[in-house]
Amino acid sequence: MTRSIPLCAAVPALLWAAGVAAQVPVPSVPPRAEDVATLDGIIKAFYDVISGPAGQPRAWARDRTLYIAGVKFVSLDVHDGRPVASVMDHQQFVDRTDAGFVRDGFFEREIHRVTHRFGNLAHAFSTYEMRRTPDGPVFGRGVNSIELFWDGARWWIAAAVWDDERPDNPIPRELLP
């Protein structure tokens, strides 16, 4: 016996499938296998692409290969005593950070990670420190909250949210080495 799917049920399913397929970008360069094959690899690449000395352009084409289409970056801060979230897509993040990274130099390095995984979903709390040169003084620390998923062939970053350490916002012990 053959069962047919009513058109009213098939159309939403097809639209959903098309939406899911549209979420996987076609990067301008192929991803490096070592960047996307493991959780360690993609998080290492997440930090590598934004780090570099003054005067060195960042590897934004490589960076784009790490994220799903429509990825959101959320930078948390406090203004006038109130929490503020600055929400950006990838290009907005590039536009807001590139000039300063290249002008001043910027190295962000992971110093600790707490990862939870369920099936093809992973969440990493990745504690970082920031420097202007690879061995220079640390000028700030914070925590990245990174949402990732495995598509059966590679890892993707779906979102990244971060908050810097402040006197009123110390990094908790469980997120430190």
pLDDT, residue 28, reads: 76
Q: How far apart are CA 147 and CA 175, in angstroms?
A: 16
25: pLDDT strictly greater than 90 = no
Residue 12's identity, in one-letter code, is: P
77-118 pLDDT per residue, tens = 999 999 999 999 999 999 999 999 999 999 999 999 999 999
Residue 72 burial by Cβ neighbours in a 10 Å radius (0-12, 13-18, 19+): middle
According to the 3-state scheme, what is the secondary structure of 69-105? EEEEEEEEEEECCEEEEEEECHHHHHHHHHHHHHHHC
Q: Residue 27 has what pLDDT?
A: 56
Select from 163, 144, 152, 122 the least CA-distant residue to 47: 144
pLDDT score recorded for residue 78: 95
128: closest CA among 34, 42, 51?
51
Query: Rounded distance, CA 111 to CA 115, Å?
Result: 13
Q: Higher pLDDT residue, 4 or 146?
A: 146
Side chain identity at 98, as an amino acid letter? Answer: D
Mean pLDDT along residues 119-134:
98
Instruction: Pull the structure tokens for residue 4.
Output: 């047919």
Look at the chain and count its residues: 177
User: Under 8 Å CB-to-CB from 25, ≥6 apart: which residues?
Assistant: 64, 67, 68, 69
Strand (E) or helix (H) holding 44 = helix 39-48
- Cβ atoms within 10 A of the Cβ of 158, count? 16
pLDDT digits 0-9 by tens, 37-59: 999 999 999 999 999 999 999 99
Please give the domain boundaries of the chain with CATH numbers for all domains.
32-175 (3.10.450.50)
Name the pTM for this structure. Answer: 0.84
The model's confidence at residue 64, banded by pLDDT at 50, 70 and 90, is very high
pLDDT value, residue 50: 97
Closest CA relative to residue 39, chosen from 118, 127, 154: 154
